[in-house]
A and B are shown apart, each in its own frame.
Chain A
Amino acid sequence: MYSFYKNINIIGAWLLGFLWLLPLLYAIWASIHPIEYQVKFDLFAPLTLYNFENAWSQAPFARYMFNTFIYVTMTTSCQFILCSLTAFAFARYEFPFKNILFGLVLIQLMINPEIILIENYKTIKFLNLIDTIPAISLPYIASAFGIFVLRQAFKTVPKELDDSARIDGAGALRILWHVYIPLSIPTFLAYGLVSISYHWNNYLWPLIITNSEETRILNVGLAIFSMEESGIEWATISAGTLMVTAPLIIAFIIFQRQFVESFATSGIK
């Protein structure tokens, strides 16, 4: 009986996996075949790289790729620093209004970033940072979600380890660095993955705050293929999408095992 259920599980997993993969498989199909074969699935259809050339030539994607890399790295590393410091304070220190302050941080989770678009824009203008890469990152680096998950992770660290480090004369930052962070690596990895994929996919804010080729990111460049009036050219948009998502997909395949393990142990699913 057990093996029967196990088989059902396996079949179900494959089926779901296949459904998830379908859009990607279609994008691969559409991007390597001429436009006549977009929905005509003929195994012997001629192959072409024209769609990639065409998509690549419509916007400076190499530059966008570089900008995206800078923006995502900057955002995630700033989040790690700010969030781990804040989470550490909330997890291990007692100070007045602690719960109210933590509540305020959590409220941020409920605010849709689009609502404060104009306010954010005004702040960036005040800082004179419009049309720069830091401007894309800035509104996201004090991430409530990051503070929340890291606080949860730090809370599971045994107090005894903290105490013994303290007895050995370690200061707060040293304890954070040598005790809390090493024990929470899976959470950092999992949170980093969520954050990177979120920022890689971010669209509206980067579109609004940037104006030039030097600051624009991949996803904004991709919008050039949307063409709401004339209809979508699936071949070009598929090729473009594959180019834009390729770095993430390749990174995921390489680090797959680590990602899956870290998700399993961190409890974020």
Chain B
Amino acid sequence: MNIIKLVIISLTVVITSLSVRAIDLEFYFPVAVGGGAAQAIEKFAEDYTKLNPDVNVKAVFTGSYTDTDTKFLTACKSGTAPATSVMIAVTIFKYIDEECVMAWDDILTQDEIDNWIGGFYPAFMANGQVDGKTYGIPFQRSTPVLYYNKDAFRAAGLDPENPPKTWDEQLEVAKKLTIKDSDGNVSQYGIRIPSAGFPYWLFSAIVYGNGGKIMNDNGTETYINSPEAIEALEKLVALSTTEGVMRPGILEWGSTPQAFFEGQTAMMWTTTGNLTNVRNNAPFDWGVAFIPGIKQFGAPVGGGNFYLSIDTTEEEQQATKDFVKWITEPKQSVAWTKATGYVAPRAETWESDEMKEFLKEFPYPAVARDQLEYAGPEFSTYEQPKTVSIFNRALEAAVAGEKDPKTALLEAHAEIDKILKDYR
């Protein structure tokens, strides 16, 4: 009798212990901004595991966006991909092409598609959806804004609460802010729009502001040969040549905030991912405004999304979904915005009390949110690495004065067209 009892008890113990075994949920994340992004993510993983003991979230730091891309694809090709990964939004076509990611729609209910997916700002969904299906859930998303030195505005007799709204106003203000010493050397430039590394990003802001587009939604055609794009590049090049309000030559992206802090430039265009950096390090009074456009406001979005691995069990998919839903909730989203300056991608986050509290002491993230209304997608096509590098090279050649803007863009368009022809 006793033996049977013992067997039954031990069997029950074995069965229950099997059923509560925690699922390991691995996810890759790149770090592209300062301010303790990595610590914030590790804390999210820890908090979630505490709240959900049946899931063990393991956040794996994977370097830059490019490194993460390589690591994810290598793991995917060897059948050990993590359940989910944060990767740059614009390489979406590549991951679909390589059959490494699946649409979130496949594991969501209609209600979740309407209310959860529907709750993200449309501007951020633009780089995450293909053929009406959602592959990328917005997470570390940003957009460029104009940062300006209010002290420099005052010194030049400009109203610090009235930043430029159009390209022409920006040019006029920049002329007043450009200071030359007695030898004719410029000690403070009016503006700095960095052009090294990935010039296409800020350049597309000028194109959107000129009423143009840079590509179609399917990633199979670009419009960088349009009159709007050519005019945009001519205006950009003119800033440092004929107008003399921007330092000539290729301007580094990474050292732009530093140049702003040191007063080498009175205004700069850079990502909202720099809000925390500027907040901590600018030794003067500063402000943030919409990117001034030639005809209208306009800016691209940027940054990384959550992708769902194709190589996942149903159990992992459900756990991943719950985790990603949790991390995009207002509470976590506000913490993330505070740590990094990334724009919280859901409207409900901005209506939460935590966010309102935060905006009271630091209102600038809201400028980026408001600009989303005018924002367009980031440049994204099939064969992304190739097309982007052709586009970048053309822009750099024009900025460096090696080619005139029109020739540079027409040549780049022809070259990209040859690559994309096969995908139409």
Q: Which A residues form the contact surface with B (CB < 8 A)?
A: 35-36, 38-40, 58-59, 117-118, 121-122, 125, 130, 204, 207-208, 211-212, 220, 223-224, 226-234, 236
Contacts and interface: CB of A to CB of B under 8 A. Distances in A.
B119 interface: no
Contacts, number: 101
Interface string B244-267: 000000000111111001100000
Given A58-B36, A121-B75, 5 more contacts: A40-B262, A212-B58, A230-B270, A230-B273, A232-B254
A141 B74 CA distance: 22
Given A35-B281, A118-B74, A211-B26, A227 B63 contact: no
B374 interface: no
B34 interface: yes
Closest 4 CB pairs of A and B: A229-B32, A230-B33, A223-B63, A232-B254
B62 interface: yes
Contacts of A122: 78
A63 to B, nearest CB: 14
Interface core residue of A39, A117, A130, A207 (most chain B CB under 10 Å): A207
10 contacts: A118-B74, A125-B78, A125-B80, A207-B63, A227-B34, A228-B254, A229-B271, A230-B273, A231-B257, A231-B277
B296 to A, nearest CB: 25
A236 to B, nearest CB: 8
A223 B67 contact: yes
Contact of A220 (B36, B63, B75, B79): B63
Contacts of A227: 31-34, 254
Contacts of B258: 38-39, 231, 234
Given A228-B197, A230-B32, A204 B271 contact: no
Contacts of A121: 74-75, 77-78, 80
Contacts of B283: 36
Interface in B49-72: 58, 60-65, 67, 70-71
A38 B39 CA distance: 25
Contacts of A234: 258
B274 interface: yes
B128 interface: no
B142 interface: yes
Contact of A211 (B60, B197, B281): B60
A59 B303 CA distance: 23
B70 A204 contact: yes
A254 to B, nearest CB: 32
Contact of B58 (A207, A211, A223): A211
